[in-house]
Structure 1
Amino acid sequence: MMVQDAQDRSVQGAVYRTLKEGIMTLRLAPGTVMSTKEMAERLHVSRTPVREAFIRLQSEELVDIIPQRETVVSRINLLRVEQERFVRESLELPVIDLFLQNCRPEHFAQLRESIEEQKRCYTEKRYADFVGADNRMHQLFFDVAGQHLAWELIMNSNGHYNRIRVLTVQVEDTIVSTIRQHCQMVDLMEQGQTEAVRREMNRHVKRINVEKANLVQRYPDYFKNDNEPQGIRIGSL
């Protein structure tokens, strides 16, 4: 019985992670309609782990469940984006001081390697991978600062903020500017200019506020509004 329970939990976790990754990378776009039956067939599992994954994703505001009808990938909520951005800013700015107190030369080398990875993602137009590389770079700040719980909190509550970031980096000026900002921040860190780093980080995190209006205009069906349009049919995972 315990072995079977472990297997069931493993399947449930795999289904949840697969669906969440699809949502976070926009392969499952906002507004995508999903059915339990269809997803179970696509993932070659029973309906139970799919239903449980939907419930878990709903608790994270990543899907909207309409009882007896359908499950829809939630549209990006700009109010939620701002709240998630605020959480990140509130936690990340103090972490920079701790990072600079504890960092060593090899950590700067890791940051440089991350920037090179971001450049490759940009060249190859792998935008979701770029955001992943960006996240790993910022995670290093928290790891070196010894603030693992703070980073976990950010990652567990960034579904709307992360998705809008995947959209922003598809804009040429934005992704180039992001890479340039990262280079500037690492330069300042190596020089020990703490206040300058904090100012640059603050501008970096708040940049999304400037870009939101253009994104809503460019991707109107991806954002939550008072008159929700019909969901689009699910694409391939």
Structure 2
Amino acid sequence: MQTDIRTVRASEESARAFVYRVLSTYIREMFLHPGEKLAETDVAAELQVSRTPVHDTFSRLEREKMLRPVPRGAVVPPLSADTIRQTVWMHRTVCQAVLGELYNHRPATLEPLERCVAAELEALQGGAIVKMARLQLEFHRTLYTLAGREPVMEAMERNSGDLYRLLRMLENADLWRYVADQHSAIVQGLAMRDYELAARALEAEHDLVEPLLEECRYRQPYFFE
């Protein structure tokens, strides 16, 4: 685990919160690959904290299924194709309901969603593909927030770790441009009161996952169960 800006501890941050932030970020962002082993002593030395917050964080990440215990440490678990498919089904179902709420009770402004799309296009133009999974997540968070469903999105995210890691593996600019185009169509549909346009774009985004899952399993089978 290399030291960089993500491993800088904020002055007000507790040791436990710091360790959790760093490890969960490294796992979700695929800086730590499935199968990599972590030892509490090594992490404590790397982050310059005692073993207690590291031990507590390992236990928390194991409960959240972001680590698996092994003798003298833990390993980053592989991605589960079945879990990803179940997560996509859940997102597909709930997102359509959220979209319906936004259609029936249109928010005062769609500017937050427009800013999300602009950020995606800016990242693509600058070649910052590494940002796209996070920006895709931010678009959906904003969608839920505008519908007043932040707690629902928070619950969804707790079960979406493998899906996020899959998206983080994708480095095809054309694919991410397609996702940004669907997000733009969702915003356009909401602005024009065209529910069918927005719903089709949302379905098109979710439909991408299955072929991408199969491609990633073929290309990097050692990352999957």
Question: 2:14 maps to what in 1?
Answer: 10
Question: 2:36 maps to what in 1?
Answer: 32
Shift of 1:45: 0.7
Question: 2:82 maps to what in 1?
Answer: 79
- The reply to whether residue 48 of structure 1 matches residue 49 of structure 2 is no
Supply the distance in 1 between the matched residues of 2:130 and 2:161 (Cα, whole angstroms). 13
CA contact (8 A) 1:99 1:142 kept: no
| Counterpart pick for 1:151 among 141, 150, 153 | 153
Which amino acid is 1:95 matched to?
Answer: V
Instruction: List per-residue Cα deviations over 1:102-142 (Å, max 9, x = no partner).
Output: 334632x2222211211222234434422222211111221
- The reply to whether residue 88 of structure 1 matches residue 91 of structure 2 is yes
RMSD of aligned residue pairs (Cα, Å): 1.9
Identity value in percent: 20
Q: Which runs of 5+ in 2 are unaligned?
A: 1-12
Question: 2:177 maps to what in 1?
Answer: 176
Question: 2:10 maps to what in 1?
Answer: none
Instruction: List per-residue Cα deviations over 1:23-76 (Å, max 9, x = no partner).
Output: 11111122211110110011111111111111111112111111x333111111
CA contact (8 A) 1:77 1:223 kept: yes
Q: TM-score, with normalisation over the residues of structure 1?
A: 0.83
Supply the distance in 2 between the matched residues of 1:205 and 1:53 (Cα, whole angstroms). 32
Q: How does 1:1-237 map to 2 (within 5 A)?
A: 10-66=14-70, 68-104=71-107, 106-107=109-110, 109-168=111-170, 170-224=171-225
DSSP-derived class of the 2:169 partner: helix
DSSP-derived class of the 1:30 partner: coil
Shift of 1:164: 0.3
The higher relative CO (CA closer than 8 Å, separation ≥ 6) is in 1
Supply the distance in 2 between the matched residues of 1:144 and 1:110 (Cα, whole angstroms). 8
Instruction: List per-residue Cα deviations over 1:158-205 (Å, max 9, x = no partner).
Output: 11010001113x123311211121122222221111123222212212
CA contact (8 A) 2:185 2:197 kept: no
Q: TM-score, with normalisation over the residues of structure 2?
A: 0.87
